[in-house]
Amino acid sequence: YQLMNANMEQNGTMGQWMMRNTTSVQVNFDITSERDLEDMIFVADCVQPVCAYLFANSPFQNGSPTGTENIRNVIWENTDNARCRNLIDHGIESPERMIDQYIDYIMTVPGIFELDEHAIIVATDKTMGERLVDLERSGKLRTVDIQATLHQIFTNVRLKHLVEVRGADRPPMGYEMAPVAFWTGILTVETVRNECLSVVKNWSVEDRHTFNKASLVLDDSQMGPDGKSYGHWNQWVGDLAITGLKERGLGEEKFFEEFFEIVMKKGPFSLQA
């Protein structure tokens, strides 16, 4: 964390704020196939603005109200452009060849740290690609080196030995499972994920960038993809999540339905404080 703190001081404007003043419920999903991985990551990256709106819960900064500013999203947007934000910001615009695209991306990112021969964390001045190539050529590349590299990417959706979705703010007490249920309903039920994918894969790159920018402000009247409002997409994706949870047949919709109803009626908890 000392190395990360030094890195954040030099990159972006709010990285140290991120380390000290943001929190999340991060959700991990196992992967059953390459196609499963591709679709899961792409859908999650596309609907991240919905996640950012529904789970916004940072009503104060330095003791002052944040108003309609989605402050967690704003902080992460200004943390470190090389390793944060959305995958589309790093040129990953389609689900095809997702693993190759992701590898190409992470190889260009400056490292925060590397592991020495004893697997001890030390500082580095190399890109993560340079470090991995050096280790590969010398026959010293280890699984822990690859894992250390993957853990230095902080995008809202990231790939490790599983899919990690990271973009939800920490919900109020009693609703901690809401982000887990939301993403589970969308990403793990193939029929629901395919329905979502069939729509979001037709969003233009321009629409997606505009949607991501809209997620910095808690105003669901803003326009989203296909000329439909932010609020429309919040409702559509949330309804899909509930459909997926009900299709799983485990009663998990109880973890999201009430939360979703409150947010759609009263706005995100950031605006309710």
pLDDT digits over 135-154, tens only? Answer: 999 999 999 999 999 999 99
Q: Does residue 130 sit within a domain?
A: no
Segment 164-189 shows an average pLDDT of 98
SS3 state of residue 110: strand
Instruction: Tokens for 66, please give them.
Output: 């944040």
Is residue 148 in a domain? no
Give which of 89, 39, 55, 29 is closest to 196, Cα–Cα: 39
In a domain, 3, yes or no: no
Write the pLDDT tens digit of every residue in 215-247.
999 999 999 999 999 999 999 999 999 999 999
Instruction: Examine residue 149 and state whether it is found in any structural domain, yes or no.
Output: no
SS3 121: strand
Distance in angstroms (rounded) separating the CA atoms of residues 100 and 116: 27
107 within some domain: no
For residue 273, what pLDDT is reported? 74
Question: Does residue 64 lie in a domain region?
Answer: yes
182 domain-assigned: yes
Q: Are 82 and 110 in contact (CB under 8 A)?
A: yes
C-alpha separations of 43 from 37, 163, 178, 183, 189 in Å: 10, 12, 18, 10, 12
Mean pLDDT on 175-182: 98
Residue at 47 is within a domain? yes
In this structure, what CATH number is given to the domain that contains residue 225?
3.30.590.20
Residue listed under structure tokens 């959305």: 86
pLDDT interval class at 65 (50, 70, 90): very high
Specify the pLDDT at position 30: 97
User: What is this structure's pTM?
Assistant: 0.94
Residues of the domain holding 184: 22-87+156-268
Is the pLDDT at 5 greater than 90? The verdict is no
Q: What is the pLDDT of residue 7?
A: 80
Number of folded domains in the chain? 1
What's residue 114's pLDDT? 96
Q: What is the mean pLDDT of the chain?
A: 96
